[in-house]
């Protein structure tokens, strides 16, 4: 059976024809194209999930200073704030923000992470998945299913647009990561394939035009903050989709739009550290890289 797809439209057709969720279509695609049995594919995804979980929790036990010195300890502060019952975000978002920021600490200190889809946006998917797992007592197997769903969205973005900040700005990194997380969350909470892609499309719409402006050229700041914001955006989009709010613009069209907008961003706003936050006096003073 051919389970390959090159667009969200084709993916939805496969889901409808075979009465399968996005996760299962993506799993079967991986097995067929990778010439591997189901167990082997799941084993590989489980390994990725274990790395995600470790990177999301390690800095909460022992905060890590980044190589550039711009971040370190932020996730622990969020956890402590949540523990004091001072959080205004609620359980899922409070936990998801904490875990997302923790992953960026691990990444910026040269630790082991899973690029999802990039290193600079690696906290959004695990942050969302781990928060939902803890708040709703979801099994690892169901999380693994959801990660296949996220993988399908990431694959479409890489195939038909970009996930590189140097090409499309941060909308391509955090934007796609958030779209992946939103789609996975919708399936995890019982949504349909159409609702999954509605959520992914909503995310890209809400983050359209987000620039990539790393202070000092380091994947630390504002990257870590944007991983937390990306989780929030994903949660909003997922909630809207699950409530039955339909997205006017299909995911394929939003991907095209994101890619077009990214190519129109000036070079200074595409990972060069020459514009945006990176060019502010405070950022220049912090990293000492400005002339």
CA atoms of 251 and 31, how far apart (whole Å): 25
Buried/exposed 55-68: b ≥16 CB within 10 Å, e otherwise: bbbbbbeebbebeb
- The mean pLDDT value of the chain amounts to 97
pLDDT at 105: 98
In tens, the pLDDT along 251-288 reads: 999 999 999 999 999 999 999 999 999 999 999 999 87
Domain ranges of the chain: 8-287
Q: What is the mean pLDDT of residues 25-36?
A: 96
CA atoms of 238 and 201, how far apart (whole Å): 10
pLDDT at 289: 62
pLDDT at residue 97 greater than cutoff 90: yes
In tens, the pLDDT along 208-249 reads: 999 999 999 999 999 999 999 999 999 999 999 999 999 999
Please name the CATH architecture into which domain 8-287 falls: Orthogonal Bundle (1.10)
Q: What is the mean pLDDT of residues 172-196?
A: 98
pLDDT at residue 291 greater than cutoff 60: no
Which of 19, 266, 223 is CA-nearest to residue 121?
A: 223
CA atoms of 81 and 263, how far apart (whole Å): 40
Which of 119, 117, 83, 93 is CA-nearest to residue 104?
A: 119
**How large a percentage of the chain has pLDDT more than 70?**
99
pLDDT at residue 124 greater than cutoff 90: yes
Encoded tokens for 56: 């999301």
> Under a CB-based contact definition with an 8 Å cutoff, are residues 154 and 163 in contact?
yes
Q: If you write DSSP's letter for every residue of 50-101 in order, what string do you get?
A: HHHHHHHHHHHHS----TTSS--SHHHHHHHHHHTT--SS-HHHHHHHHHHH
Between CA 124 and CA 181, with CA 155 as vertex, the angle to 5 degrees is 25
CA atoms of 235 and 179, how far apart (whole Å): 10
The residue that leads in pLDDT, 286 or 250, is: 250
pLDDT at 287: 83
């Amino acid at each position: 059976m051919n389970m390959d797809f090159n667009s969200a439209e084709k993916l939805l057709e496969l889901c409808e024809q075979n009465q399968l969720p996005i996760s299962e279509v993506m799993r079967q695609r991986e097995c067929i194209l990778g010439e591997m049995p189901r167990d082997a594919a799941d084993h590989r995804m489980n390994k990725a999930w274990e790395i995600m979980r470790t990177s999301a929790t390690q800095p909460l036990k022992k905060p890590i200073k980044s190589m550039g010195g711009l971040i370190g300890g932020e996730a622990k502060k969020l956890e402590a704030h949540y523990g004091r019952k001072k959080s205004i975000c609620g359980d899922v978002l409070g936990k998801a923000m904490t875990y997302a920021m923790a992953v960026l600490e691990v990444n910026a200190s040269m630790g082991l992470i899973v690029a999802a889809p990039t290193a600079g946006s690696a906290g959004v998917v695990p942050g969302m998945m781990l928060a939902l797992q803890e708040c709703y007592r979801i099994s690892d197997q169901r999380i693994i299913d959801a990660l296949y769903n996220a993988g399908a969205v990431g694959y479409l973005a890489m195939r038909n647009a970009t996930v590189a900040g140097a090409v499309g700005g941060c909308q391509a990194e955090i934007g796609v990561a958030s779209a992946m997380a939103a789609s996975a969350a919708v399936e995890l909470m019982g949504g349909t394939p159409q609702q999954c892609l509605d959520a992914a499309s909503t995310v890209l719409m809400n983050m359209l035009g987000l620039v990539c402006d790393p202070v000092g050229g380091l994947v630390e700041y504002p990257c870590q903050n944007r991983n937390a914001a990306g989780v929030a955006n994903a949660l909003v989009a997922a909630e809207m989709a699950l409530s039955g709010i339909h997205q006017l613009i299909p995911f394929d069209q939003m991907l095209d739009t994101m890619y077009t907008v990214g190519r129109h961003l000036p070079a200074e706003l595409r990972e060069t550290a020459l514009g945006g936050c990176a060019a502010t006096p405070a950022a220049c003073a912090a990293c000492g890289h400005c002339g």
